Amino acid sequence: NAGVTQTPKFRVLKTGQSMTLLCAQDMNHEYMYWYRQDPGMGLRLIHYSVGEGTTAKGEVPDGYNVSRLKKQNFLLGLESAAPSQTSVYFCATQQVTLGVEQYFGPGTRLTVT
């Protein structure tokens, strides 16, 4: 089992460009999350999904969109990248059962110039 994977691992964008980050999981988890990690600020929730076809905003959703057309995939889109979106992005998944851990993907390092 691959667990949680993220594509791509690294990306450099110019201001105004768009891109999509893909999170894929083979653990049949219902919940999926997108976080960004910035120095000194921990992990902040961008968007999340409680199941196929549903998404919701987290703490820092502005400038991002998401989609969950298939249970195993959760896509994070940047329509017009800004330097403030330079960050490391982590996807995480979780079973429905209360108290079970979130499993993180390996991360995507994004630089916007």
Partner 1 sequence: GENVEQHPSTLSVQEGDSAVIKCTYSDSASNYFPWYKQELGKRPQLIIDIRSNVGEKKDQRIAVTLNKTAKHFSLHITETQPEDSAVYFCAARQSGSARQLTFGSGTQLTVLP
**35: which 2 tokens?**
């976080």
**By CB under 8 A, is residue 62 in contact with partner 1?**
no
**By CB under 8 A, is residue 89 in contact with partner 1?**
no
Compute the least distance from the CB of residue 16 to partner 1, in Å. Answer: 29
The residue (of 69 and 99) whose beta carbon lies closer to partner 1 is 99
**By CB under 8 A, is residue 45 in contact with partner 1?**
yes
- The DSSP code for 32 is E
The residue (of 36 and 75) whose beta carbon lies closer to partner 1 is 36
3-state SS, residue 14: coil
Compute the least distance from the CB of residue 106 to partner 1, in Å. Answer: 5
Query: Could you tell me if 14 and 22 are in contact, meaning their C-beta atoms sit under 8 angstroms apart?
Result: no
21 phi and psi angles, rounded to 5 deg:
-100, 135
Query: Could you tell me if 111 and 12 are in contact, meaning their C-beta atoms sit under 8 angstroms apart?
Result: yes
Geometric angle at alpha carbon 16, from 13 and 18, rounded to 5°: 65
**By CB under 8 A, is residue 83 in contact with partner 1?**
no
- The DSSP code for 18 is -
Compute the least distance from the CB of residue 71 to partner 1, in Å. Answer: 16
Query: Which residues here bind partner 1, judged by CB under 8 A?
Result: 31, 33, 40-45, 48, 50, 56, 58-59, 90, 94, 98-99, 101-102, 104-107
